[in-house]
Amino acid sequence: MNLTDDIQYLKGVGPKSIELYHKLDIFTVEDLLLYFPFRFEDFAGRQALELMDSEIATVKGIVATQPNLGYFGARKSRLAFKIKQGEVAIGVTFFNQPYLKDKVVVGEEVGVYGKWDSKKVQMTGLKLISGEAQAGEDGLMPIYHLTEGLKQTALVKLIRQVMTPETLAQLLENLPAEFLQKYRLMDRQNAVRAMHFPENDEEHKQALRRVKFEELFFFQLKLQALKNKEKSGREGLRIAFEQSDLDAKIAELPFALTGAQSKALGEILADMTSPYHMNRLLQGDVGSGKTVVAELAMYTAALANFQSALMVPTEILARQHFANLTATFPELNIGLLVSGLKASERREILADLASGHLHMVVGTHALIQEGVDFYNLGLVITDEQHRFGVNQRKILREKGQNPDVLMMTATPIPRTLAITAFGDMDVSIIDELPAGRQPITTRWVKHSQMASVTDWLKSELSSGAQAYFVSPLIEESEALDLKNAEALFAELTETFSQNKVGLLHGKMKNDEKDAIMTAFKVHETDVLVSTTVIEVGVDVPNATVMVIMDADRFGLSQLHQLRGRVGRGTKKSYCILVANPKTDSGKHRMQIMCETQNGFVLAEEDLKMRGSGEIFGTRQSGLPEFLVADLVNDYNILEVARTEAVRVFSEPERYRELIAEVGQMDESFD
Ligand code: ADP
Ligand code: MG
């Protein structure tokens, strides 16, 4: 068997299951070997009396009493029996797993994996281990992230099948031997084996340390490589313009810039006019007014006869920016480039970009496609930059002659992490909201209180307010998201029969989306039901109510983004979280949302609750998604990895191979 073998030839992989594996990005034998479990269940038996109260563990014993199965409520059941561990009699209860009854046979040994209650001398069982358990030598059972339809046992079997001395031998060591020695790291083959099937806890710890080091070290190497490239091409454009022209435009704006906006704009212009090329991150909480700063930077480029491009993650946002830009700069030629254009429209825009007729262009990913050429691209801006990978930004940048680059983000990033993650990028911060903003009142209500919410909302609507309803999020299933949104739409159309209700979702055709958004913007509709497509950037200042259904399904930063769609004007705004959270984390998120509106506080909470993996995962920061490492919890390893990566690039002769390897990996950076 070879590492590169397609998994379709493996025993146990059929035409149906192969789709599931592909969903997990598993295509080859190697992918399987490197698909690590995210935790272990400890199925090794423990002495019950040595457990701490509430500890989760496995207790083995001999079944001492007939299992007693009782039903209560519609589908609820309770299975109770006793086991004996030596002389100790232990009560066991399983809730809602009636089928376990047949597996509990008096006189036979079972393992109960569950939560220990030391007062009652009782286990609340989560899993029953009877017969041959699938655990490894030490009772450690690897648990993998799965996709719907795939079973743990099937995946474990498959990994066992491909993990042979033959395949392991093909996994080549990718760290210099001196590192293994210096940091006492396990070699790669052993580490991969022990990541799945460790002989004991300690071995797994060592494997994990090695894999984390590897991951963070290559991450840092790639950053260093990128940085080196940047520096060597640091000579940039010098943008020359008349300050008075810019001032005149600023005076025409419908509002005065906030101090923080002026300061950020000043920093950006200083970069643009210098002979060095700009590489700057503009950070500001939702609603802080980043857009106008970006627009003015684009205007400045135009004054100096350079083209500029603004790349945004969604089409709705692209159209919104386009409308803004054309309104603010009627004297300029501005293009919109999104995927849904007619062939003739697209052709015209591409021609106008290449000829230099267009001063500015706004677009989605369509901007970085082949065939999009500029006449003289001087400034590249990405909005909601966390939605784009490093590579995508790079492609756009390369469409110009080393243009200035500005990235905008609403995700507050703690400074230490920003430095490690974004390397030598400069940062501007808008830390002030435009004057006249009122705090958004956030309320958490249960589903049973919906009637009073809709009553209240009816009176708000009749006095001219507009509201968003965000439908529940079904993870991983767009089809269900859509169904939810449609059901909610039907319900609300009935409830708010005196008002106009619109529906917006990701599956709509572009002009449909456009029409719905415009109708809401000009207040033809009063209520907009939507999936999370409105999460980023959408700006309708007259909308003052945001209702989020099943809000506990969302993470804090997403909730914060959603809430940021209201409170954008001077009118009092409200955010209603409708949720009956089942978990503590869900409750906590609802509470903290009601307590604070500060993006930094929320980001920090988020970090504490979820670890950096998700916050700084690809989706949100443009960083690669880490398999095992965590930028916060593994900060120590990260620091070492960084030091070593810097050293590697300071001795390029000695580490030629490593550097060459990283060069090849460049393409897959995001
Ligand atoms: P974000 O930073 O979330 O992208 P936007 O740029 O969309 O925020 O701005 C939010 C709203 O605030 C917009 O309606 C915008 O017109 C308005 N705005 C921006 N700057 C100011 C300002 N200095 N004074 C008043 N309103 C402003
Ligand atoms: Mg924005």
Most confidently predicted of 282-296, 389-403, 418-432:
282-296
Report the separation in Å between the CA atom of 289 and the middle of ligand 1, taken as the mean of its atom positions.
3
288, 385, 536, 597: residue to mutate for ligand 1 pocket, most atoms within 8 A of CB:
288
- Cα 288 to middle of ligand 2, angstroms: 8
- C-alpha gyration radius of the chain: 29
Pocket test for ligand 1, best of 292, 312, 538 (most atoms within 8 A of CB): 292
Report the run of H or E that residue 379 belongs to, with start and end: strand 377-382
Residue at 178 is within a domain = no
**Span 419-464, pLDDT tens digits:** 555 555 677 888 888 888 888 999 999 999 999 999 999 999 999 9
Tokens of 417: 């992490």
Name the band, by pLDDT with cuts 50, 70 and 90, for residue 519.
very high
Cα–Cα distance, 661 to 185 (Å, whole number):
21
- If asked whether residues 312 and 402 sit together in one domain, one would say yes
DSSP label at 554? S
Task: List helix spans (H) across 403-553.
Answer: 415-422, 450-462, 478-495, 510-521
Mutate which of 291, 387, 563, 571 for ligand 1 pocket (most atoms within 8 A of beta carbon)? 291
Range of the domain at 77: 44-132
Distance CA 51, CA 42 (A): 13
CB-neighbour burial class of residue 518 (10 A; exposed 0-12, middle 13-18, buried 19+): middle
Look up the CATH number of the domain holding residue 112: 2.40.50.140
Same domain? For 97 and 118 the reply is: yes
Quick check: 272 and 243 in contact, CB under 8 A? no
Rounded to an integer, the average pLDDT of 577-596 is 92
Say if residues 325 and 470 touch (Cβ distance below 8 Å): no
Residues 32 and 51 in one domain: no
- For residue 568, which atom of ligand 1 is closest to its CA? 11
Clarify whether residues 265 and 123 are in a common domain: no
385 lines ligand 1 (CB under 6 A): no
Q: Which of 163-172, 174-183, 660-669 has the lowest mean pLDDT?
A: 660-669
The residue contributing the CA closest to ligand 1 atom 10 is 287
Give 207-261 pLDDT, tens digit per residue. 999 999 999 999 888 877 876 766 555 566 778 889 999 999 999 999 999 999 9
| Sequence-distant (≥ 6) Cβ neighbours of residue 517 within 8 angstroms | 316, 319, 320, 504, 538
Note whether residue 227 is domain-resident.
no
Say how many Å lie between the CA of residue 183 and the centre of ligand 2.
44
258 Cβ below 6 A of ligand 1: yes
Residues 366 and 412 in one domain: yes
Of the listed ligands, the closest to the CA of 290 is 1
Range scoring the smallest mean pLDDT among 6-20, 168-182, 534-548: 534-548
DSSP state letter for 49: G
Do 28 and 50 have their domain in common? no
> Mean pLDDT, to the nearest integer, of 268-278?
87
User: Are residues 164 and 102 both part of a single domain?
Assistant: no
Ligand 1 contacts CB of residue 538 (under 6 A): no
Over residues 641-657, mean pLDDT: 88
Q: Which of 59-63, 146-150, 314-318, 420-424 has the lowest mean pLDDT?
A: 420-424
Residues 446, 359 within the same domain: no
Q: Is the pLDDT score of 600 beyond 50?
A: yes
Please give the distance, rounded to the nearest whole angstrom, from the Cα atom of residue 141 to the centre of ligand 1. 52
373 and 361 in contact (C-beta within 8 Å)?
Answer: no
- How many A from CA of 294 to the centre of ligand 2? 10
pLDDT score recorded for residue 668: 40
Residue owning the nearest CA to atom 12 of ligand 1: 289
DSSP class of 28? B
Q: Is 528 in the same domain as 382?
A: no
Instruction: Give yes or no for residue 620 having a pLDDT over 50.
Output: no
Q: Is the CB of 484 under 6 A from ligand 1?
A: no
How far apart CA 533 and CA 389 sit, in angstroms, is 19
- Indicate the burial class of 493 (C-beta count within 10 angstroms; 0-12, 13-18, 19 or more): middle
1-5, 45-49, 83-87, 601-605: which range is least confident on average?
Answer: 601-605
Which whole number is the average pLDDT over 561-568? Answer: 90
pLDDT, tens digit, 9 for 90 and up, residues 257-268: 999 999 999 999
- One domain, residues 247 and 327: yes
Whether 539 is in the pocket of ligand 1, judged by its Cβ within 6 Å, is yes
Q: Whose CA is nearest to atom 16 of ligand 1?
A: 289
Cα of 514 from ligand 1 centre, angstroms:
21
Higher pLDDT, 536 or 57: 57
Q: Is 549 helix (H, G, I), strand (E, B) or coil?
A: strand
Query: Which residue CA neighbors atom 4 of ligand 1 most closely?
Result: 290
Last residue of some domain: 380, 408, 430? 430
Give me the residues paired with residue 360 across strands.
308, 334
1 and 29 Cβ atoms separated by less than 8 Å: yes
How many angstroms separate the alpha carbon of residue 313 from the centre of ligand 2? Answer: 11
Give the pTM: 0.60
Cα separation, 42 vs 566, whole angstroms: 47
* Ligand nearest to C-alpha 250: 1
Cβ(320) – ligand 1 distance below 6 Å: no
Using the predicted structure, report yes or no on whether residue 389 has a pLDDT greater than 70: no
Contact indicator for 458, 496 with CB cutoff of 8 Å = yes
Domain containing residue 265: CATH number: 3.40.50.300
Higher pLDDT, 512 or 337: 337
Q: What's the confidence (pLDDT) of residue 614?
A: 45
In a domain, 628, yes or no: no
Cα(445) to ligand 1 centroid in Å equals 29
The token pair at 296 is 């003015």
CA distance 335 to 318: 10
Protein residues near ligand 2, an ion, with CB under 5 A: 537
CA 578 / ligand 1 centre spacing (Å): 27
- 290: CA distance to ligand 1 center in Å? 7
Element (H, E) at 439: none
Answer whether residue 517 is part of any domain.
Answer: yes
Amino acid 662: pLDDT? 81
CA atoms of 130 and 60, how far apart (whole Å):
10
Q: Is the CB of 283 under 6 A from ligand 1?
A: no
Q: What's the pLDDT score for residue 235? A: 66
Of all protein residues, whose CA lies closest to atom 19 belonging to ligand 1?
289
Q: Which atom of ligand 1 is nearest to the CA of 436?
A: 25
Lowest mean pLDDT among 167-171, 305-309, 345-349, 384-388: 384-388
Distance 363 CA to ligand 1 centre (A): 20
Q: What DSSP string runs through 300-358? A: HHHHTT-EEEEE-SSHHHHHHHHHHHHHH-TTS-EEEE-TT--HHHHHHHHHHHHHT--
**Cα 601 to ligand 2 centroid, rounded to whole Å:** 20
Kindly state the average pLDDT of the residues 273-286.
84
The set of residues, in sequence order, having a beta carbon less than 8 Å from that of 547 and lying 6+ positions away, is: 453, 457, 467, 468, 469, 470, 575, 576, 578
Say if ligand 1 is within 6 A of residue 567 CB.
no
- Tell whether 233 is covered by a domain: no
Q: Which residues of 57-67 are buried (b: 16+ CB within 10 A; e: fewer)?
A: bbbbbebeeeb
Compute the distance between CA of residue 310 and CA of residue 361 in angstroms, rounded to an integer.
6
Whether 523 and 472 map to the same domain: the answer is: yes
Task: Tell me which residue of 657, 624, 468 sits closest to 547, measured CA to CA.
Answer: 468
Cα–Cα distances (Å) from 636 to 185, 207, 640, in that order, read 15, 17, 7
Could you tell me the distance, in angstroms and rounded to a whole number, from the CA of residue 529 to the centre of ligand 2? 21
For residues 474 and 227, what is the distance between their CA atoms, to the nearest angstrom? 39
Q: What was the pLDDT predicted at 143? A: 86
Residue that terminates a domain, selected from 430, 450, 478: 430
Q: Does some domain include residue 216?
A: no
Measured from the CA of 541, which atom of ligand 1 is nearest?
14
Supply the mean pLDDT for the chain.
86
Domain boundary among 596, 623, 654: 596
Q: What's the number of domains the chain is made of?
A: 4
Question: Do 413 and 347 belong together in one domain?
Answer: yes
pLDDT at 404 over 70: yes
Asked whether residue 307 is assigned to any structural domain, the reply reads: yes
Residue 353 lies in a domain: yes
